[in-house]
Amino acid sequence: MRAAPKAMADAIRVLAMDAVEQANSGHPGMPMGMADVATVLWTKFLKYDPKKPDWADRDRFVLSAGHGSMLLYSLLHLTGFKAMTMDELRRFRQLGSLTPGHPEYGHTPGVETTTGPLGQGLATAVGMAIAERHLNARFGDDLVGHRTWVIASDGDLMEGISHEAISLAGRLKLSRLAVLWDDNGITIDGDLSLSETGDQLARFKAAGWAVKRVDGHDHGKLASAMRWATRQDRPTLIACRTKIGKGLATLEGSHDSHGKAAGAAEVAATRAKLGWTAPPFVMPDDIAEAWLAAGRRAARPRRKWDQRLKASDRRAEFLAALKGELPAAAAKALEEHIARMVQDRPADATRAHSGAALSAIVPYAESMIGGSADLTGSNNTRVKAMTVLDAPDYAGRYVNYGVREHAMAAAMNGMALHGGVIPYAGTFLIFSDYSRPAIRLAALMGLRVIHVLTHDSIGLGEDGPTHQPVEHLAALRAMPNLNVFRPADAVETAECWALALQSQRTPSAMALSRQKTPALRTEPAKENLCAHGAYELSPASAKAQVSLFATGTEVAIALNAQALLEAGGVPTRVVSVPCWALFEAQSAAYQRRVIGSAPVRVAVEAGVRMGWDRFIGEDGAFVGIPGFGASAPAEQLYQHFGITAEAIVEAAKAKL
Ligand SMILES: Cc1ncc(C[n+]2csc(CCOP(=O)(O)OP(=O)(O)O)c2C)c(N)n1
Ligand SMILES: [Mg+2]
């Protein structure tokens, strides 16, 4: 006997309820409420292959409401993702299981992105949809043609990032993006009306989406709505009217079903109500088989796709793009650029050096997709070879993200997750605060996403303290698995770009200056010196009495201080520290050598001291900024805040 769709949806309900019960922790309400929507999507529309979770042309499914993780884990188990055994469901939320509290990318096969912070999944999905359209334009329908489906909750849509994400998606007419909103009118504190009276459909419509509302428990109507979504020329929102905890004996529709175990009595009563007689973590054969059959059906398009790929004359190029390695020609172009910079010794802002490095690489690295949050001219992120990525021809490689830093950062995560493209984009360093939650997810997921963060200090001048980062380097450096680069000249900037592009499992933040700074690396090097994170740029004339540590534009100031100290008979060395995280990855012996044994250590950075004691010790001297900046020309500010060669000399001498 074939299992009915309702029974298939109930299978999700019961698994979610039982797993949360077993863990005595988790969120049964959302998976139970959205079980019907998910059943229709995963049995009739979603293109995926449980046997090959990373098949390139699969549809992307994003559970933006990550608290409903049991919905996704149940689907993965039921449709036949091998790793997701019943035992893993039984071990929901336990150490080392494939079923952590919220879905984690890279941890669980079939999980497309890490979700949990509400709104992130939705914005990430926008990036996936951008990548899909771009690669479709580059490689054609034969190789790339899939959809991105999102399940989002009230909370996802209340978050500010949702505004940025949906307006960007609407502007780009991302017709392959569909959002299934769990329109249950409930959040944790109770009725949605406690905190929301807005009209989501009107909001999405205003942003350029096609919208529809359906009964989220009516499989027929859901299927019609999803079919409708696949025929639109713009992104689509389907408001699925649901009851949270649908099926629960007494808690159905109540916010009490959002985030805790229902309790033994409720679970028993619910089993009775659903007519579900199987014990926990046992799936009746007919239902198990119906789900596995759905998984096999969903995978059918893959065999045809495999044949098309085999026959394609773009096969090698396509696979290389997916692999994400930089073409040899691009690496070579960057090396030649570095050699040129050593010769030419340009004195300019490091943001300009970054633009020059990009001009050298981008023509040879077709997978790189640039952009800026409305600061293109300031970030130097667009090179001549790039045309704009936009509807209807998505072949361009430059995204006008608009003033949407948060969605930009999340969209870049989506692009990197999608694969086939290498995203980078710019804003001011100060506004990394606006994109930080997405940067954190990139670090957690281990994604190659490159943030170009210009105007990196008081050196930006007259825009004043609202625009002058002081704590941002420290704050970003605190984040695990994020490489924060602050290069000092053209050569270091190009070296840092090389490192960022090579770091396939680590995002990068490039802190770049607005103001000019002289060329410092004027001798050819045998290797990428920035790869060590810190290195001795200029040795002392004799046994060093003073070690100066500096980053970015302050390295040149430290070199001037070194000249003054040396002239005064104090042997002094200068260490450039372009990337703390890479320095921490060096051997202990290398670290000791670079920190050195000079009795006096001084660090120079136009920011707060936090963290610098690692280099200079508690009794070291710090030349930087203890508080906020000020509005004035850059040179005056460096004088005003005492970040000068003379001040460094004084600080060193006071310790000698
Ligand atoms: C950025 C962020 N803030 C807060 C939370 C904690 N949180 C998890 S779910 C939720 C809201 C629940 O309402 P809804 O999104 O409608 O989900 P439902 O209860 O309907 O499943 C909150 C505040 C979070 N996960 N992310
Ligand atoms: Mg809700």
The secondary structure of 263-301 as a DSSP string is -HHHHHHHHHHHT--SPTT---HHHHHHHHHHHHHHTHH
| 259 Cα: distance to centroid of ligand 2 (angstroms) | 11
* Predicted pLDDT of residue 84: 98
Q: Which of 30, 153, 436 to mutate to test the pocket of ligand 1 (most atoms within 8 A of CB)?
A: 153
How far is 98 from 407, CA to CA, in rounded Å? 28
* Predicted pLDDT of residue 469: 98
| 430 Cα: distance to centroid of ligand 1 (angstroms) | 28
pLDDT band (50, 70, 90) for residue 566: very high
Q: Which of 118, 124, 181, 200 to mutate to test the pocket of ligand 1 (most atoms within 8 A of CB)?
A: 118
**Which ligand is closest to the CA of 438, given by its number?**
1
> Is a pLDDT exceeding 80 seen at residue 46?
yes
Q: Which of 63, 67, 191 to mutate to test the pocket of ligand 1 (most atoms within 8 A of CB)?
A: 67
How far is 283 from 291, CA to CA, in rounded Å? 11
Write out pLDDT tens, residues 552-564.
999 999 999 999 9
* Predicted pLDDT of residue 76: 98
Question: What does the pLDDT average to over 464-489?
Answer: 98
Write out pLDDT tens, residues 607-648.
999 999 999 999 999 999 999 999 999 999 999 999 999 999
Average pLDDT of the residues of the chain = 98
pLDDT band (50, 70, 90) for residue 313: very high
pLDDT band (50, 70, 90) for residue 3: confident
Write out pLDDT tens, residues 494-549.
999 999 999 999 999 999 999 999 999 999 999 999 999 999 999 999 999 999 99
> Is a pLDDT exceeding 70 seen at residue 209?
yes
Q: Where are the beta strands (DSSP E) in 440-591?
A: 450-454, 483-485, 508-511, 516-517, 535-538, 546-550, 572-576
Q: What is the share, in percent, of the chain residues with pLDDT greater than 70?
A: 100
* Predicted pLDDT of residue 473: 98
User: Helix, strand, coil proportions of the chain in percent (round to 5)?
Assistant: 45, 15, 40
| 243 Cα: distance to centroid of ligand 1 (angstroms) | 16
**Which ligand is closest to the CA of 185, given by its number?**
2
Ligand 1, atom 15, lies closest to the CA of 155
Q: At a CB cut-off of 8 Å and minimum separation 6, what does 226 contact?
A: 40, 41, 44, 45, 178, 238
Write out pLDDT tens, residues 190-208.
999 999 999 999 999 999 9
For residue 118 and ligand 1, the question of a CB distance below 6 A is answered with: yes
What the block records as the tokens of 387 is 């045309």
| 174 Cα: distance to centroid of ligand 2 (angstroms) | 25
| Strand-strand pairing, 535-538 and 572-576 | antiparallel
| Strand-strand pairing, 516-517 and 348-349 | antiparallel
Question: What does the pLDDT average to over 241-267?
Answer: 97
Write out pLDDT tens, residues 83-124.
999 999 999 999 999 999 999 999 999 999 999 999 999 999
> Is a pLDDT exceeding 70 seen at residue 1?
no
> Is a pLDDT exceeding 80 seen at residue 379?
yes
Rg (CA), the chain: 27
Q: Which residues surround ligand 2, an ion (CB under 5 A)?
A: 153-154, 184, 186
> Is a pLDDT exceeding 80 seen at residue 493?
yes
For residue 187 and ligand 1, the question of a CB distance below 6 A is answered with: yes
| Strand-strand pairing, 450-454 and 483-485 | unpaired
| 118 Cα: distance to centroid of ligand 1 (angstroms) | 6
Residue 465's DSSP bridge partners are none
Question: What does the pLDDT average to over 382-386?
Answer: 94
Q: At a CB cut-off of 8 Å and minimum separation 6, what does 507 contact?
A: 439, 442, 443, 447, 448, 449, 450, 451, 481, 482, 483
Query: Cα 21–27–29 angle (5° rounding)?
Result: 100
**Which ligand is closest to the CA of 161, given by its number?**
1
Contacts 24+ apart (CB under 8 A), 56-59: 56/143, 56/144, 56/318, 56/322, 56/419, 56/420, 57/143, 57/144, 57/145, 57/146, 57/301, 57/302, 57/305, 58/146, 58/302, 59/146, 59/147, 59/148, 59/149
Cis peptide before 280, with omega less than 30 degrees from 0? Answer: no
* Predicted pLDDT of residue 385: 85
Q: Where are the beta strands (DSSP E) in 518-558?
A: 535-538, 546-550
Ligand 1, atom 9, lies closest to the CA of 67
Among all residues, which ones are annotated catalytic?
405
